Amino acid sequence: MTRWRWGGVAGVLFAACASAPPAAPEASGGGGFVAIEDAAHLSVEAPPVPAVTHFVLAGGTVLTAAGQTFAPGWIEVSAGRIVALGAGASPIVGVQTIDLGGKWVTPGLIDVHSHLGVYPAPQVRATDDGNEATAPTTPGVWAEHSFWAEDPNLQRAAEGGVTSLEILPGSANLIGGRGVTLHLRPMRGGRAMRFPGAPDTLTLACGENPKRVYGGKGGAPSTRMGNVRGYREAFAAAARYLKDHGKKKLEDLPRDLAQETLVGVLEGRILAQVHCYTAQDMISFLQVAKAVE
């Protein structure tokens, strides 16, 4: 089982930043497995339940998202949620208190565009799994299936205060595949680290990256015109797929991994994450989106 060397404080909306992470309540056991009502995601590993669910972080410098600074300050955590905080000495008695003297406590960071785990460190060919650069559109692939939970950069991100990340395929393709939102805690793999209730996303890339990759191979797209044609063709095919099969449930249709993803975008169940550099590319993509509504 993957085990990073960081305390659990960063997993509770706030992150403690110092030369070494502060101690946190011990987790009990490995958790076992639970089923979720989503056939596409099968079952996931249940996160470990902390032995101590009510505690106070005290003595550190607390910076809030509203811009306040409490030096020193305290934070009360119950059942994984911050329920109170303030300046000075903690008024809470009768619960475990974790001394954060000399440390800084900040709101946890959410990384909305990350390639950690699919482009891990050290960067070698064996673990270079972020771009399925074999066709301009590959909506049937999932970053979750490339994600390496032992990437050393995940521990560094946690120590820096990152609590959650959206892991995306790279931007070589017009349609690169599904992304996944993960809660940054050490588990066996990406499926077990999924952030509860977060929808899947789909990575799309505009402009120079796809035309450089495929134009460099002597293929299409090699221009921005070719890029836009690629998006239009892909979503037009998905719209036809949806129309041809009427109101049938997705699970009753013949399996088509690419169309399942694109139909999910058309229906709003999968969110588009579009990688663009210029206003020109953004305008073009908004026109594509309008055309496929």
Q: Where are the domains of the chain?
A: 8-107, 111-291
Distance between CA atoms of residues 184 and 43, nearest Å: 19
Pairing of strands 54-63, 27-28: unpaired
Distance between CA atoms of residues 179 and 138, nearest Å: 12
How many Cβ atoms sit within 10 Å of the Cβ of residue 286? 11
Quick one: pLDDT at residue 48?
59
Distance between CA atoms of residues 111 and 116, nearest Å: 10
Give the H/E segment covering residue 290. helix 279-291
Distance between CA atoms of residues 176 and 174, nearest Å: 6
CB neighbour class for 37 (10 Å; exposed up to 12, middle 13-18, buried from 19): exposed
CA distances (Å), origin 14, targets 18, 27, 204, 225, 244:
13, 18, 31, 45, 49
Quick one: pLDDT at residue 242?
86
Q: Which two tokens stand for residue 186?
A: 């050490």
Quick one: pLDDT at residue 254?
78
Query: Per-residue pLDDT for the chain (293 aa), expressed as one digit of tens each?
Result: 455 444 333 334 444 443 333 333 333 333 322 222 344 454 455 555 567 789 999 999 999 988 999 999 999 999 888 999 999 999 999 999 999 988 989 888 999 999 999 999 888 999 999 999 999 999 999 999 999 999 999 999 998 889 999 999 999 999 999 999 999 988 889 999 999 999 999 999 999 999 999 999 999 999 999 999 999 999 999 999 888 887 677 677 778 999 999 999 999 999 999 999 899 999 999 999 998 77
According to CATH, the topology of domain 8-107 is Urease, subunit C; domain 1 (2.30.40)
Determine the CATH number of domain 111-291.
3.20.20.140
Distance between CA atoms of residues 191 and 141, nearest Å: 15
CA distances (Å), origin 221, targets 83, 212, 214, 224:
52, 8, 6, 7
Q: Which two tokens stand for residue 48?
A: 């470990």
| Range list of β-strands (E), the chain | 14-17, 27-28, 33-35, 43-45, 49-50, 54-63, 69-78, 81-87, 96-99, 104-107, 109-114, 162-167, 175-183, 201-205, 271-275
CB neighbour class for 232 (10 Å; exposed up to 12, middle 13-18, buried from 19): middle
Quick one: pLDDT at residue 50?
61
Quick one: pLDDT at residue 46?
55
Quick one: pLDDT at residue 152?
93
